[in-house]
Amino acid sequence: MSFYKALDKRYEKMSYRRCGNSGLLLPEISLGLWHNFGHVDEFENGKQMLQTAFDNGITHFDLANNYGPPPGSAEENFGKILKQSFLPYRDELIISTKAGYLMWPGPYGEWGSKKYLVASLDQSLKRMGLDYVDIFYSHRPDPNTPLEETMSALDLIVRQGKALYVGVSSYNAEDTKKASKILKELGTPCLIHQPRYNMMDRWVENGLMDVLENEGIGCIPFSPLEQGILTDKYLQGIPENSRAAKSSGFLQSDQVTSKKIKQAHKLNDVAQNRNQSLAQMAIAWLLKDERVTSVLVGVSSEKQLINNLAALDNKLFMDSELEVIDAILNNKD
C-alpha cells in the first residue's frame, strides 16, 4: 500500500465561504458519499476520489448512517480510507454524518427520537473510527417526535463532545425557524441546512433561503445536478448503465421526463455559450447566491470530480443569462 501525501498547494485551488453566522469556512464544493462508496462499489475508486478531492482543496466530506449500499457501508469504507490516507490530516477535515432514516428494526431504528439519534451517532463513530464528527444532522423532520426532543438530542451530542456543530436536512422553512430558535435557547446554534436544491427543484426559494439568511444558518444543497439530469448524460435518452436505468436507484426512469430532457438541451446551449458543461453551469448557478455556503456533489470517478471543480472557474452570470435560464425553466422561452 503506497502512502498518500496530500499536495502542498491544495489550498491554492479552492475558495472558502463562511457558514452562516459561524467561525467555520467550507469549500465552495464539498464531496458527498451518498453513492459510489458502499460495499457494492470499488473501494480503490472511492479512495482515489477522496484523495483527489482533498488535493484540490475539498476539505468537507459528507456522509450519513444509511449511505451505501448496504446502509452503513459508506461510513465503514470511509473509516478505512481515513485510516489509510487521512489520519495525519484529520484536523484539516470537516466530516459530517446524519441520522433520520431506517437503520435497524424496531421502534428505535429511525426518525428523530433522542434514543435513535444518540445511538446512531455512536454507531457511525465506531464505523468511521472517529472520536467525533464535525457536523451532525437530523436527516429529516419527524412528524411524531416533538421538535424540542430532536433538537435537545443535537444539543446533548455537542455537549458530549461527539459533534462540534449540528444541522438539519430537508426541513421546511417553518420547522427550520422553530428548530433554530430551540437550538439558540439551548446554546447550540444550528450551523447549517442541507436541502435538495437545483435549477429544476427550487422549493427552497419559497421562504427557506430567507429563514436561513435571517437565522444566520449556512446552506449546502444536495442533488445539484438533479441526479444527473443536469448533465449531458441524458440528453440523448436514458443510457444503459445510468442511475435511471437501474430500477433500484434513487432516480427512476419515469422521472427523466421529455420536458426535463428538453429543458436540459436548452440549458446545455446556454452552458456551451459560457464555455461550460451543463454540470459546471448548474453548480455555478447555485453558487451565484451568496447564501449558499457550499455545493454538495456526488461523483463516480476522479474525472467527473475534476470536471465539477472546473465550475469554479466561471461563477459569474450576466443578467441576460439568468433571464434565459429562468425562461427555460418556466417554459416561457
Asked if residue 119 belongs to a domain, the reply is yes
Confidence of residue 245 (pLDDT cuts 50, 70, 90): very low
Per-residue pLDDT tens digits for 56-78: 999 999 999 999 999 999 999 99
Asked if residue 147 belongs to a domain, the reply is yes
The pLDDT score that the predictor gives to residue 257 is: 82
The pLDDT score that the predictor gives to residue 1 is: 54
User: By residue range, what is the domain housing residue 156?
Assistant: 10-228+277-315
The DSSP output letter for 10 is G
Asked if residue 261 belongs to a domain, the reply is no
Asked if residue 1 belongs to a domain, the reply is no
Judge whether residue 159 has pLDDT over 60.
yes
CA separation for the pair 27, 323 (Å, rounded): 28
113-122, 134-143, 242-251, 281-290: segment of lowest average pLDDT: 242-251
Per-residue pLDDT tens digits for 73-92: 999 999 999 999 999 999 99
Q: How far is CA 164 from CA 23, 46, 159, 190, in A?
A: 12, 26, 9, 11
Per-residue pLDDT tens digits for 19-49: 999 999 999 999 999 999 999 999 999 999 9
Per-residue pLDDT tens digits for 194-206: 999 999 999 999 9
**CATH code, domain with 111:** 3.20.20.100
Q: Which of 82, 63, 61, 92 is nearest to 4 (CA)?
A: 82
Asked if residue 115 belongs to a domain, the reply is yes
pLDDT: is 237 or 24 the higher one?
Answer: 24
Question: Going by DSSP bridges, is the β-strand pair 16-18/25-27 parallel, antiparallel, or unpaired?
Answer: antiparallel
Q: How many domains does the chain have?
A: 1
Joined together, the cell numbers standing for residue 319 give: 443578467
